[in-house]
Structure 1
Amino acid sequence: MSTKKAYIAGGCFWGMEDLFRVRPGIVDTEVGYIGGENEFPTYRNHPGHAEGIELTYNPDETSFKQILDYFFRIHNPTTIDQQGNDRGSSYRSAIFIQNEEEKEIAEAVIKIVDDSNKWEGTIVTTLEPFTVFWPAEPEHQDYLVRIPNGYTCHFERFKESFV
C-alpha cells in the first residue's frame, strides 16, 4: 500500500486527531508542532508553531480533498487564532502545503466552503508552506484514547460534505 501525508492545524491537536483517526483511509495520526520558529519545539516552548496533526493516508481510500472537507466540518475556520476556549497562534486554522497540487485543491475547497455560507463569517484558514513537522511529546499522542473524557473543542458541526 502506498501512502501520502497531509498536515493541518485547527486548534488543539487532541480533538482533531481523535476525529481523524477513525476516518476511512486514514492509516495513522500523529500530533505535533508545525510552522514555527524553533527547532525541537515542546508543549512549553513552540513559538509560532501551530498545534497540528500529521495524517498518513491511503490515497486509494481517501483524498487530500476529502481530508480538507472533513477538516472544515470539525473546527471553526472563521476565527483567527482561536478554537473554543483556546486562544493564540498555536490554535490557528492552517493547511501546510507540500506542493502546487495541494495548494490548488486547498484554494478550491476553501472557496467551496466560503461560498456555502454554512459558517457565519469568512474563512480565515491560512495556506502555509510545509517545512518540518515536529512530533509532540508522548503524553500528547493519542490523548483522547487514553483519557476519553479529556478536553476537546472539536466535533462534527456538519454531517453533509461540502465537496
Structure 2
Amino acid sequence: MEQGLEIATLGGGCFWCLEAVFQQVDGVRAVESGYTGGHVSRPSYSDVCEGETGHAEVVRVSFDPSVVNYREILEIFFSIHDPTQLNRQGNDIGTQYRSIIFTHSEAQRAVAEYVIRELEAGHAYDARIVTQIEPEQPYWRAEASHQNYYQEHPAQGYCAFVISPKLVKFRRDFSHHVRR
C-alpha cells in the first residue's frame, strides 16, 4: 500500500453499491470488494450468500487522509445506506448485508463511535442506528467478477435501479468530494 494511506473496511448491504460510490470519492486511491467478519477461511460469494459463514460483504477503501479523512469517509458511508436496518438493505436480506464498520485502529473506533452518537443526537434517522463496530478481522478479496461491478455492468437491473440512485445522491450531497 502507498505510504500515507489509510484503510476503511465497511459493510452496508451489497458491496457493489459501496464500491461504486467510493470509487468516485476524491482522495480514494483504491476500492476492493471482499468478505470479512466470518468463521470460514477463503469464503466464496455463494458461501457468503447462503448466510452461514458469518461474513459481511464489505469494501476496503484505501484513501489519502490529507484529501478525505476517515470521518468524511464515514459520513459518506452513512448517507448511502440505511444504518437502521438490521441484517438487510432493502431487498438484500441476511447477515451478510449488515451495517458494520471494521476498524483498523483505536482512533478509527473512536471516530466511528463519535459519528454514530452525533447522528443519533441529531435524529438523522427515524429509528436507532444498528451499525456494528468491530476490530478488523481476516479479510478475503471477492472474486474478480465482483470487482468494478457497476463500471462493468451499468445497465444491469440492480445497477440501474439500486446503485445509480445512490450515486446521484452522493454526487448531490457530497459534490465537494466527487473526484474531478
Q: TM-score, normalised by structure 1?
A: 0.93
Between structures 1 and 2, the one with greater helix share:
2
CA displacement at 1:69 relative to structure 2: 0.5
**What RMSD, in angstroms, separates the aligned Cα atoms of the two structures?**
1.7
CA displacement at 1:129 relative to structure 2: 1.5
Look up the equivalent residue of 1:9 and give its one-letter code. Answer: G
Q: Does 2:90 correspond to 1:84?
A: yes
Identify the residue that residue 124 of structure 1 maps to in structure 2: 130
CA displacement at 1:119 relative to structure 2: 1.3
Identify the residue that residue 36 of structure 2 maps to in structure 1: 34
Identify the residue that residue 26 of structure 2 maps to in structure 1: 24
- Give, in whole Å, the separation in 1 of the partners of 2:115 and 2:128: 13
Identify the residue that residue 8 of structure 1 maps to in structure 2: 10
Deviates more, 1:70-79 or 1:96-105: 96-105
Identify the residue that residue 173 of structure 2 maps to in structure 1: 159
- Runs of 4+ in structure 1 off by over 6 angstroms are none
- Give, in whole Å, the separation in 2 of the partners of 1:120 and 1:145: 33
> How many residues in Structure 1 have an aligned counterpart in Structure 2?
161
Q: Alignment partner of 2:46: what SS?
A: coil
Identify the residue that residue 106 of structure 1 maps to in structure 2: 112
Look up the equivalent residue of 2:39 and give its one-letter code. Answer: E
For 1:48, which of 41, 54, 73 is the aligned residue?
54
Identify the residue that residue 148 of structure 2 maps to in structure 1: 142
Q: Does 2:76 correspond to 1:70?
A: yes
CA displacement at 1:118 relative to structure 2: 2.5
- Give, in whole Å, the separation in 1 of the partners of 2:60 and 2:133: 15
Deviates more, 1:6-15 or 1:108-117: 108-117
Look up the equivalent residue of 2:121 and give its one-letter code. Answer: D
CA displacement at 1:159 relative to structure 2: 2.0
Look up the equivalent residue of 1:71 and give its one-letter code. Answer: F
CA displacement at 1:122 relative to structure 2: 0.6
Look up the equivalent residue of 1:159 and give its one-letter code. Answer: D
CA displacement at 1:4 relative to structure 2: 1.1
Where does the alignment leave 5 or more consecutive residues of structure 1 unmatched? none
